[in-house]
Amino acid sequence: MDKDCTIYVAGHRGLVGSALVRRLKEQGYGRIVHQTSSELDLRDRDQVERWFSEQSIDYVFLAAAKVGGIAANQDFPADFIRDNLLIQTNVIDAAYRHNVKKLLFLGSTCIYPKLAPQPMREQDLLGGPLEPSNEPYAVAKITGIKMCQAYNRQYGTRFISVMPTNLYGPQDNFDLHTSHVLPALIRKFHDAMVSNAASVEVWGSGEPKREFLHSDDLADACVFLMKNYGGDEIVNVGWGKDIKISELAALIGRIVGYEGDIVYDRTKPDGTPRKLVDVSRLTEMGWQARITLEEGLRRTYQDYLKEIYHTGGVR
Ligand SMILES: NC(=O)C1=CN([C@@H]2O[C@H](COP(=O)(O)OP(=O)(O)OC[C@H]3O[C@@H](n4cnc5c(N)ncnc54)[C@H](OP(=O)(O)O)[C@@H]3O)[C@@H](O)[C@H]2O)C=CC1
Ligand SMILES: C[C@H]1O[C@H](OP(=O)(O)OP(=O)(O)OC[C@H]2O[C@@H](n3cnc4c(=O)[nH]c(N)nc43)[C@H](O)[C@@H]2O)[C@@H](O)[C@@H](O)C1=O
């Protein structure tokens, strides 16, 4: 990627998109273009067509999507499959028709079978039934992967697909109904600490395990892959270790300084029991994550505090 190339970061205000913009700027890329969803609704083919005709885009990071935690996926399954299919189809097709040099599609590790052997390897894709709580979202993501591969085969494009594990960092969604577990627990423990509450409620049994990667590490991996990888195979990105939700809750409680009890609401779903990814493909290419969970959590909690105290709220 030449320093004067035009890079479109779709979803630049989100967790991943904002980290990508930070990383690209740090590396000296000066022509980064983007639009908010109200300026450019990527579900609308005509708007997408107009945007690609007006810009001369060389590279696309496709980080715009309908994203949410376990409850949002269960409550809005139609929105998750429709919006993601529309966004990714419109952007991938426009990138082909407007001769984009390379596109990076962001998938997710929920594409792997619910009971895939751990750690999950790239070749486990389509090896068994999916986790029901996020199946519509996962099916949209699998379609995005297959679309990139089909365009590469038929049209000779260079569209690559990256599968990140559960992410966290600045600009995350802290809404208690729609967020993922890590930002939800930061907010719950912080609120409980401030209000002196006797306990914090954690959903499910606390037994499922998840792997967490800081968005700055993911952005670094995506820029690395955009520069160094042109293959058809999907690539996992993760930290390499997972922890139980109960351990995560205890760690966040300690970082926030909350000393009350943790109670488990077993009426809420656990979701998939475990989803650790095998990162050997990426490690063999020479990339490794750097931000430990404890350091990343401390940074994220500081960012959260700055956000609520200086701007009056978080999304
Ligand atoms: N968060 C996670 O744990 C994981 C995320 N991923 C993937 O990474 C990618 C980015 O996720 P993340 O950053 O967490 O998500 P966020 O929800 O933080 O950001 C998504 C972005 O997408 C944009 N967007 C949504 N709908 C539209 C639309 N109709 N038109 C234009 N833009 C739209 C939003 O723009 P605006 O702000 O302008 O409304 C928003 O900034 C997604 O593909 C997701 O599936 C993969 C694994 C884990
Ligand atoms: C990234 C990934 O994210 C989603 O899958 P998920 O990992 O199951 O989602 P999650 O982060 O919401 O939950 C992880 C675990 O944590 C438990 N949990 C406890 N307490 C809270 C809580 O307060 N909020 C939330 N959200 N979860 C909680 C929760 O019950 C579950 O056992 C999908 O969008 C999927 O499609 C996807 O790609």
pLDDT in tens, 177-201: 999 999 999 999 999 999 999 999 9
Query: Of 244, 237, 239, whose CA–CA distance to 270 is shortest?
Result: 244
13 is in an annotated binding site: yes
User: pLDDT digit string (tens) for 256-268?
Assistant: 999 999 999 999 9
Pocket perturbation via mutation, ligand 2, pick of 180, 201, 268 by most ligand atoms within 8 A of CB: 180
Residue 311 confidence class, pLDDT cut points 50, 70, 90: low
pLDDT at 307: 83
Q: Which residue has the tokens 């990426």?
A: 282
User: pLDDT digit string (tens) for 90-110?
Assistant: 999 999 999 999 999 999 999
CA of 18 to the centre of ligand 1 (A): 10
Residue 56 confidence class, pLDDT cut points 50, 70, 90: very high
233, pLDDT greater than 90: yes
- According to DSSP, the residues that pair with 210 across neighbouring strands are 243
Query: Of 58, 53, 60, whose CA–CA distance to 12 is shortest?
Result: 60
- Dihedral pair phi/psi, residue 276, rounded to 5°: -85, 135
Q: Of how many residues is the chain composed?
A: 315
Query: Which region, left, alpha or beta, applies to residue 164 given φ > 0 means left and ψ of -120 to 50 means alpha?
Result: beta
Q: Tally the C-alpha atoms within 13 A of residue 75's C-alpha that lie toward its C-beta.
A: 10
Span 271-293, mean pLDDT?
96
Pocket perturbation via mutation, ligand 2, pick of 181, 212, 265, 268 by most ligand atoms within 8 A of CB: 181
Q: Which residue has the tokens 């800081």?
A: 214
Span 226-250, mean pLDDT?
97
309, pLDDT greater than 90: no
310, pLDDT greater than 80: no
Cα gap 30→280, rounded to integer Å = 32
How do beta strands 243-244 and 209-210 pair?
antiparallel
CA of 50 to the centre of ligand 1 (A): 21
What is the CB < 6 Å shell around ligand 2?
Answer: 68-71, 73, 108, 110, 134, 137, 166, 179-181, 184-185, 202-204, 208, 210, 245, 268-272
CA of 58 to the centre of ligand 2 (A): 35
Cβ neighbours for 123, distance < 8 A, ≥ 6 positions apart: none
CA angle, corner 242, sides to 241 and 245, nearest 5? 160
Does residue 65's CB lie within 6 angstroms of at least one atom of ligand 1?
yes
298 is in an annotated binding site: no
Dihedral (Cα; 117, 120, 125, 126), 10-degree rounding? 20
pLDDT at 313: 66
pLDDT at 315: 60
Cβ neighbours for 237, distance < 8 A, ≥ 6 positions apart: 162, 163, 164, 165, 213, 217, 218, 221, 222, 277, 279, 282, 289
Cα gap 206→218, rounded to integer Å = 26
User: pLDDT digit string (tens) for 10-45?
Assistant: 999 999 999 999 999 999 999 999 999 999 999 999
Does residue 237's CB lie within 6 angstroms of at least one atom of ligand 1?
no
pLDDT at 308: 82
287, pLDDT greater than 90: yes
Tell me the pTM.
0.97
Please tell me which residue in 29, 59, 137, 258 is annotated as part of the active site: 137
Is residue 145 classed exposed, middle or buried when 0-12, 13-18 and 19+ CB atoms within 10 A define those classes? Answer: buried
To the query of whether residue 137 is one of the catalytic residues in this protein, the response is yes
Span 107-118, mean pLDDT?
96
